[in-house]
Amino acid sequence: MSKKRGKKPSRQKDKPDEKKVARITIVIFSVLVVGILLVSLFYLSPNKNILKDPGFEENSSEWVYLHWSPVWESFTISTSQSRSGAQSAFLRLRGDETSQDSKIVGVVQDIYPDQMPRKLKGYYYVQNWVKGADLQYIQCAIMAFDVPGYADAPLQIRYILSGIDSEPFYLDNAKYIFISGDQPSQAEWVCFERGLLDDFRHSWGFIPEFSMMRVVFEVRYDGIPFTDCAADIYFDDVYLGS
Ligand SMILES: [Ca+2]
């Protein structure tokens, strides 16, 4: 009798505890599921831009130019034109009578993604375009460094955004893709968009592994200009991501 009396109260105590444990388990499970979904959405988001300061609004030190190259000149940040926000990257190209080689004005960012980004997108705006050299063009180059089998130079795709309709020169480590061979439209924002991963696969026959990726937006001429040449180019809202 004393044993039966002793068991009943213990069963009555267990039932609320089991319900409490079950509720806590459900809550923890739900929190975990929601957390995993949120993390997945963040990392798999189609709009995850891996470029820093893609709208040139933060004056980020991530944007640089190739200062070590004698043919390069720097971009500046401008408030004269912007597709979004108040600023853009401004590339001012002018002819140089002393030029014996290329002249490039550009803006560059080095990034370290785990894999080849799927999509490249951006906008550029052209003013004061005076073609003063056969090879005067606007270009976006994507360079993959330390690709196995290509240790000497980065494997590249060079997107000709506008200005020329044939390859300016041959490079062992670069493939050209022409987005527009026409002379550039002026005084309007022009969008360019490509499947970067597919372009590497189709152009090179494989998707390269790499240690670093360099993204270059530039305006340039190659060779000696035959007359004064000029171009004011703005880039804004550039995108590289999934
Ligand atoms: Ca902007």
Cα–Cα distance for residue pair 60/163, rounded to 1 Å: 29
- Name beta bridge partners: 162: 138
Q: What is the pLDDT of residue 35?
A: 66
**Same domain, residue pair 130 and 13:** no
Q: Where are the alpha helices (DSSP H) in the chain?
A: 2-44, 196-204
Distance 140 CA to ligand 1 centre (A): 18
Q: Is residue 59 part of a domain?
A: no
Q: How many domains does the chain have?
A: 2
For 25, the token pair is 């388990």
pLDDT at res. 227: 85
**Same domain flag for 30 and 81:** no
In a domain, 164, yes or no: yes
Output the pLDDT for position 108.
98
Report yes or no on 63 lying in a domain. no
Ligand 1 centroid to 83 CA: how many Å? 6
In what helix (H) or strand (E) does residue 220 lie, and over which residues does it extend? strand 212-222
Ligand 1 centroid to Cα of residue 112, in Å, is 23
- pLDDT, residue 180, reads 93
Assigned domain for 54 exists: no
Residue 13 is assigned to a structural domain of this protein: yes
In this prediction, residue 25 carries a pLDDT of 80
Same domain? 85 vs 18: no
Distance 22 CA to ligand 1 centre (A): 52
**pLDDT given at position 3:** 46
The boundaries of the domain holding residue 19 are: 1-44
Tell me, in angstroms, the distance from the centre of ligand 1 to residue 54's CA: 8
Q: Do 84 and 31 share a structural domain?
A: no
> Which residues of the chain fall below pLDDT 70?
1-16, 34-47, 99
Q: What is the C-alpha separation between 241 and 44, in angstroms, rounded?
A: 10
User: What is the CA(233)–ligand 1 centre distance, in A?
Assistant: 14
What does the pLDDT read at residue 187? 97
pTM of the model: 0.82
Same domain, 163 and 235: yes
Q: Mark 144-181 as b/e (b = at least 16 C-beta within 10 Å).
A: bbebeebeeebbbbbbbbbbbeeebeeeeebbbebbbe
In a shared domain, residues 88 and 155: yes
Could you tell me the distance, in angstroms and rounded to a whole number, from the CA of residue 143 to the centre of ligand 1? 24
Query: Distance, CA 70 to ligand 1 centroid (Å)?
Result: 29
pLDDT at 1: 43
